[in-house]
């Protein structure tokens, strides 16, 4: 799970030791969100993310469908995917 993951908007989330940080890739390297993650099983991870922009906290449950793809659903029902950055 640890490493860099990118979403469809081009934001990079770095997972390390139970913590995560999401940054822009436009050259400003701005921290968009911070949070934590917990492995629920070998293929399921729960993410808690605090948006520095919206100043809100979101939880999401994610399934590691392949070693390089994470499909997530937020507590509000929004779906998103992350791809491992190689």
Range of the domain at 28: 3-84
Determine which helix (DSSP H) or strand (DSSP E) holds 78, and give its type and residue range: none
pLDDT over 80 at 52, yes or no = yes
CB 6 within 8 A of CB 22: no
Return the pLDDT at 23.
95
CA pair distance 69, 65, nearest whole angstrom: 6
Give the mean pLDDT of the chain. Answer: 94
Mean pLDDT of 42-60: 96
Residue 8 structure tokens: 């469809």
- Number of folded domains that form the chain: 1
Pairing of strands 31-39, 12-16: unpaired
Token output for 55: 């100043």
pLDDT at 29 over 90: no
């Amino acid at each position: 799970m640890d490493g860099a993951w990118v979403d469809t908007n081009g934001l990079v989330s770095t997972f390390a030791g139970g913590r995560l940080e999401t940054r822009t890739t436009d050259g400003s390297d701005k921290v968009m969100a911070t949070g934590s993650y917990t492995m629920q099983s070998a293929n399921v991870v729960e993410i808690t993310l605090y948006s520095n922009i919206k100043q809100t906290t979101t939880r999401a449950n994610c399934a590691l469908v392949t070693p390089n793809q994470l499909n997530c659903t937020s507590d509000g029902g929004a779906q998103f995917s992350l791809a491992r950055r190689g």
